[in-house]
């Protein structure tokens, strides 16, 4: 085994990742100067984008964790057709945020399926995605993201639940604990490591959301990564785009350290 | 108890509808004629199916090219990520070496960071090196994105192959390389196939980096994104379905592996 030492085996991946990670990072840091950062901060879209991104994380993540835990608990109760349910519930795992945006565009657009269904019930339609209705526009993005990204949390929670011995739960039931007591005192505490990982992973991924909003609202609901795209592709100013990218990277770095600390404990 | 089971089924069906109905609607929209998509209210049942919208989408400029580019990038990413990642995964699974823990931390850190946001400085580097606007550039970025996960999952796969089999082969005179190729690899193959599928989907779905690193050699999602604002709704719906179809195949094939994969790598 001395011929191929383990360091030799990991060296290619180490070199590759460093090259594609450290090199652009250093290049990026030298690319964006003070003037670019000022221009980024003065842009009318920057602060709304930062606010929308934060708001999306704050609203979406609690909702999707509640949904994912509920879904995992439902499967834990071993319903009939559990296999079919599991299959359909994990399909969004492989769907991109661009595709999710387009799917929900078919639902929420002015002459889309939601308004069609409403009109058949003789309810007047509503311009869900109009920039005049920022609340429904935001909610449409939340629904689309809830639809797309909850399955990731769901799979992590189900995997975590499988490692909890059923005995504990059954013992608590024997001693007269009802469902809510068992959920709060037995199941959720043991799920904590899985939930922590899912939480931080989802927070970092949610920071990168942009194509959903792009597909549903164009630039009417700006998000931080969407602004990187705008500055680079539409306004052709890579320096400001880099400045925004570095902001996202810094925030993610903070979350990543949380991630690593959670894993170590 | 009976009422309890009924409530359970009701909740499961409600969630299934939430996940399933949008998929049905996008398929319905993509297989409606343009004329019926202009009607209001839209028919909610498949009464008026036509392949017009989807064939128009497939026939429009850049779509077939985008498909081919996406396929090229996806397959090259799989190959490159496996070539670089499998040895590292094997080392993590079989060897206790100095630097193992820092290396694992490094992998987790790179996975946790949005490497995609580095696309903008990367674009400048690629411009200088002549890689800009090629499928190779996108492949390199996607490999960097996928590699940490590839290494972590393959190491979990190799942990599952009993070390004794490998040692037995070597006792009977096989060289380490031969023992690996003839004994370990065949047993690890289903797991590695799962990793390959996972890597492909990751690359297929990545939008931002592919958009920033290319101009003409767009992948399909990058092409759909950049033509979004000036294309009719029918085109967007067909694009949505075209992007989703591989996902459905992926989940159908991967159902068995999904829990293991996410379970072992994310905890």
B73 and B133 Cβ atoms separated by less than 8 Å:
no
Residues A62 and A106 in one domain: yes
Residues A176 and A142 in one domain: yes
Considering only CB atoms, A74 lies closest to which of B11, B85, B123, namely B11
Name the phi and psi angles at A75, rounded to 5: -70, -30
Instruction: Tell me the per-residue pLDDT of A120-177, one tens digit each, with 9 for 90 and over.
Output: 999 888 999 988 999 999 999 999 999 999 999 998 898 888 878 888 888 888 888 8
> CA-based diameter of chain A, in Å?
77
Residue A38 lies in a domain: no
Quick one: pLDDT at residue B265?
A: 47
Considering only CB atoms, B233 lies closest to which of A109, A218, A263, namely A109
Residues B33 and B81 in one domain: no
Closest chain B residue by Cα to residue A160: B263
User: What is the count of structural domains for chain B?
Assistant: 2
Residues A20 and A107 in one domain: no
Quick one: pLDDT at residue B193?
A: 87
Residues B35 and B129 in one domain: no
B172 CB within 8 Å of a chain A CB: no
| Chain A contacts in chain B segment 107-136 (CB below 8 A) | 107-110, 112-125
Residue A215 lies in a domain: yes
> Which residues from chain A sit within 8 angstroms of residue B29, using beta carbons?
106, 113
Q: How far is A41 from chain B (nearest CA, A)?
A: 18
| Preferred mutation among B43, B74, B85, B121 to probe A, highest tally of A CBs within 10 A | B121
| B185-201: burial string, b at 16+ Cβ within 10 Å, e else | eeebeebbebbbbbbbb
Cα gap A248→A209, rounded to integer Å = 11
Q: What is the mean pLDDT of chain B?
A: 87
ipTM: 0.90
CB pair distance less than 8 Å for A105 and B233? yes
- pLDDT tens per residue across all 265 residues of chain A: 444 578 888 899 999 998 888 888 888 888 778 888 899 999 999 999 999 999 999 999 999 999 999 999 999 888 888 888 998 999 998 899 999 999 999 999 998 999 999 999 998 889 999 889 999 999 999 999 999 999 999 988 988 888 788 888 888 888 888 888 888 888 888 888 888 878 878 888 899 899 999 999 988 999 999 999 999 888 888 889 999 999 998 888 887 777 667 666 5
Residues A119 and A99 in one domain: yes
Residue A14 lies in a domain: yes
The CATH code of the domain that includes B211 is 1.10.3720.10
B85 CB within 8 Å of a chain A CB: yes
Q: Which domain holds residue B45?
A: 1-60
Tokens standing for residue A79: 């319903």
Residues 6+ apart with CB under 8 A from A71: A89, A150, A154, A157, B15
CB pair distance less than 8 Å for B91 and A156? no
3-state secondary structure of B49: strand
Instruction: Tell me the per-residue pLDDT of B175-210, one tens digit each, with 9 for 90 and over.
Output: 888 888 888 888 888 888 888 988 999 999 999 999
Instruction: Tell me the per-residue pLDDT of A224-235, one tens digit each, with 9 for 90 and over.
Output: 999 999 998 888
Residues B5 and B110 in one domain: no
Residues B16 and B76 in one domain: no
Residues B49 and B91 in one domain: no
Residues A24 and A122 in one domain: no
Residue % of chain B over a pLDDT of 90: 40
Name the phi and psi angles at B98, rounded to 5: -65, 135
Q: Which domain holds residue A19?
A: 1-31
CB pair distance less than 8 Å for B121 and A3? no
Residue A235: which of A45, A8, A87, A12 has the closest Cα?
A45
**Residue where a domain stops, chosen among B40, B60, B80:** B60
> Which residues from chain B sit within 8 angstroms of residue A208, using beta carbons?
114, 116-117, 208
HEC string for chain A = CCCCCHHHHHHHHHHHHHHHHHHHHHHHHHHCCHHHHHHHHHCCCHHHHHHHHHHHHHHHHHHHHHHHHHHHHHHHCCCCCHHHHHHHHHHHHHCCHHHHHHHHHHHHCCCCHHHHHHHHCCCCCCCCCCCCCHHHHHHHHHHHHHHHHHHHHHHHHHHHHHCCCHHHHHHHHHCCCCHHHHHHHHHHHHHHHHHHHHHHHHHHHHHCCCHHHHHHHCCCCCCHHHHHHHHHHHCCCHHHHHHHHHHHHHHHHHHHHHHHHHHHC
Considering only CB atoms, B205 lies closest to which of A70, A96, A208, namely A96
Peptide bond just before B124 cis, omega within 30 deg: no
Residues B123 and B34 in one domain: no
B255 CB within 8 Å of a chain A CB: yes
Residues B66 and B187 in one domain: yes
pTM of the model: 0.89
Instruction: Tell me the per-residue pLDDT of B95-141, one tens digit each, with 9 for 90 and over.
Output: 888 888 888 888 877 877 777 788 888 998 898 888 899 999 999 99
The CATH code of the domain that includes A90 is 1.10.3720.10
Residue A60 lies in a domain: yes
Considering only CB atoms, B141 lies closest to which of A9, A20, A241, namely A20
Residues B159 and B85 in one domain: yes
């Amino acid at each position: 085994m001395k011929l191929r030492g383990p360091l030799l085996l990991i060296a290619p991946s180490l070199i590759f990742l460093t090259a594609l990670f450290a090199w652009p990072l250093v290049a990026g840091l030298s690319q964006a100067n003070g003037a670019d950062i000022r221009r980024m901060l003065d842009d009318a879209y920057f602060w709304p984008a930062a606010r929308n991104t934060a708001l999306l994380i704050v609203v979406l993540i609690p909702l999707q964790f509640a949904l994912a835990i509920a879904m995992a608990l439902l499967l834990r109760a071993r319903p009939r057709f559990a296999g079919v349910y599991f299959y359909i519930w994990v399909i969004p795992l492989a769907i991109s945020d661009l595709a999710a945006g387009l799917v929900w565009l078919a639902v929420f657009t002015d002459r889309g399926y939601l308004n069609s269904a409403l009109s058949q019930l003789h309810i007047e339609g509503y311009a869900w995605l109009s920039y005049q209705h920022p609340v429904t526009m935001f909610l449409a993005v939340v629904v689309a993201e809830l639809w797309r990204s909850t399955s990731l949390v769901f799979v992590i929670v189900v995997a975590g639940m499988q490692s909890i011995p059923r005995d504990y739960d059954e013992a608590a039931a024997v001693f007269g604990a009802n469902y809510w007591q068992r959920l709060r005192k037995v199941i959720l505490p043991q799920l904590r490591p899985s939930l922590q990982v899912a939480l931080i992973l989802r927070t970092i991924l949610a920071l990168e959301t942009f194509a959903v909003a792009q597909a549903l609202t164009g630039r009417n609901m700006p998000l931080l990564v969407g602004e990187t795209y705008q500055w680079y592709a539409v306004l052709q100013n890579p320096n400001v785009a880099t400045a925004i990218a570095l902001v996202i990277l810094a925030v993610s770095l903070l979350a990543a350290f949380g991630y690593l600390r959670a894993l170590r404990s | 108890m009976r009422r309890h089971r009924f409530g359970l089924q009701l909740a499961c069906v409600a969630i299934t509808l939430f996940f399933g109905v949008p998929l049905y609607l996008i398929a319905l929209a993509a297989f409606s004629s343009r004329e019926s998509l202009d009607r209001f209210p839209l028919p909610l049942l498949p009464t008026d199916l036509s392949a017009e919208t989807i064939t128009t989408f497939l026939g429009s400029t850049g779509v077939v090219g985008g498909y081919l580019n996406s396929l090229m990038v996806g397959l090259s990413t799989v190959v490159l990520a496996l070539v670089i990642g499998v040895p590292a995964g094997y080392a993590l699974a079989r060897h206790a070496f100095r630097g193992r823990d820092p290396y694992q931390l490094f992998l987790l850190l790179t996975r946790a960071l949005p490497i995609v946001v580095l696309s903008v400085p990367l674009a400048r580097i690629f411009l200088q090196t002549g890689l800009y606007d090629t499928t190779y550039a996108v492949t390199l970025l996607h490999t960097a994105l996928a590699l940490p996960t590839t290494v972590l999952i393959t190491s979990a796969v190799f942990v599952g192959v009993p070390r004794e089999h490998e040692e037995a082969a070597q006792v009977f005179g096989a060289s380490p390389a031969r023992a690996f190729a003839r004994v370990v690899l065949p047993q690890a193959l289903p797991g590695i196939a799962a990793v390959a599928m996972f890597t492909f989907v990751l690359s297929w779905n990545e939008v931002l980096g592919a958009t920033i690193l290319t101009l003409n050699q767009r992948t399909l999602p990058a092409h759909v994104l950049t033509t979004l604002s000036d294309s009719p709704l029918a085109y967007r719906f067909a694009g949505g379905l075209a992007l989703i179809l591989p996902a459905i195949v992926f989940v159908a094939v991967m159902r068995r592996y999904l829990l293991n994969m996410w379970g072992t790598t994310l905890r």
